[in-house]
Structure 1
Amino acid sequence: MASSTFKQDMPPEGGYKPIPYKRIPAKTFFSGWALIGGYLGMTAGAAYLYYLNCKAVHARELEARSASFAIYPMLLAERDRAYLKQLRKNREEERELMKNVEGWKVGTWYGEPIYKTEKPDTLQDQLYHEYYVHSSFKDYKKRAHLSLIS
């Protein structure tokens, strides 16, 4: 069983240390003016770097835009050449297909003009399906952005 001697826990000799209850402020490494100056310095440095970057990007965009302006007329001419080439190919294909049909004139419907125009020698733009009539369906689908969804 428990022994009959009982020892009570007592404070150390000389008592406990005093309890600290006063506020201890944090260490200040920089003053308020130093923080404001640092902020302004960093902002000025970042603004300068941003300016240099914008200047370089603008120069690259200017170069690309100038090249685009320079090559644009040539690209238009090539597009027009390809268009006329395809029209000539369509006309020759029609001539080849209908060579055995009596009274068939290329570009007409049995001698009657398809398009009614004021000037008979003007070029009429054709619809997609007329333009790609002698091409593969794959080319027509690619140009017309068709997709067959089942």
Structure 2
Amino acid sequence: MPQDMPPSGGYEPVQYRRNLPVRGFRPAYYLVAVGAVMTYGFYRYGQGIREQNELAREKMWSRIYLIPLLQAEEDRDLVRRTLASRAMEKELLGAETKVYNSDRFVRPTYAVTPSNVTK
């Protein structure tokens, strides 16, 4: 009985892997796409920071420019309150009284209290 021999040229290779079709793009394309999206995001983020800084600068300068106006309003209100206080004092006491021993102006401090608080 003759021994079985391999066919001439050998056996076909044994298929031990599944031959599945490749799905999607190559990984390099995904990497490029993610890099492009991140670059655009960082660009827009930088623009946002610049805009925030510009708005903060504008806000600061607008407040600086408003300081003289607000100070003048406060001074006018102080003069009005002082004159009203003197007039009320003169009406109640019949004469003006001096609280301090000097003629130097002392800025009064007013505590704002709600009108609905009972004593």
Closer, same or farther in 2 for the Cα pair 1:127/1:59, shift >3 Å? closer
Aligned counterpart for 2:100 among listed residues 107, 115, 118 = 115
Give 1:75 deviation, angstroms.
0.7
Q: Which residue of 2 aligns with 1:128?
A: 110
Q: Which runs of 5+ in 1 are unaligned?
A: 1-21, 100-104, 109-113, 130-139
Equivalent residue of 1:42, what SS?
helix
- Identity in percent: 18
Bigger fraction of residues in helix = 2
Give 1:47 deviation, angstroms.
1.1
Q: Tell me, in whole angstroms, the C-alpha distance in 2 between the residues paired with 1:107 and 1:42.
A: 77
Q: 1:106 aligned to 2:96?
A: yes
Give 1:33 deviation, angstroms.
2.1
Give 1:128 deviation, angstroms.
3.0
Give 1:86 deviation, angstroms.
0.4
CA displacement, residues 5-50 of structure 1 (integer Å, 9 cap, x when unaligned): xxxxxxxxxxxxxxxxx76768431333222222211110011112
Q: Which residue of 2 aligns with 1:76?
A: 71
Aligned counterpart for 1:65 among listed residues 55, 60, 65 = 60
Q: 1:43 aligned to 2:38?
A: yes
The amino acid across from 2:96 in the alignment is: V
RMSD (Å) for aligned C-alpha atoms:
2.8
Equivalent residue of 1:123, what SS?
coil
Q: Which residue of 1 aligns with 2:8?
A: none
Contact 1:94 1:106 in 2 (8 A): yes
Q: Name which structure has the greater RCO, CA cutoff 8 Å, separation 6+.
A: 1
Alignment of 1:136-147 (within 5 A): 140-142=112-114
Aligned counterpart for 1:94 among listed residues 89, 98, 111 = 89
Equivalent residue of 2:113, what SS?
helix
| TM-score normalised over the length of structure 2 | 0.65
Closer, same or farther in 2 for the Cα pair 1:25/1:65, shift >3 Å? farther
| Count of aligned positions | 101
Q: Tell me, in whole angstroms, the C-alpha distance in 2 between the residues paired with 1:45 and 1:63.
A: 27
Contact 1:91 1:107 in 2 (8 A): no
| TM-score normalised over the length of structure 1 | 0.54
Closer, same or farther in 2 for the Cα pair 1:55/1:36, shift >3 Å? same
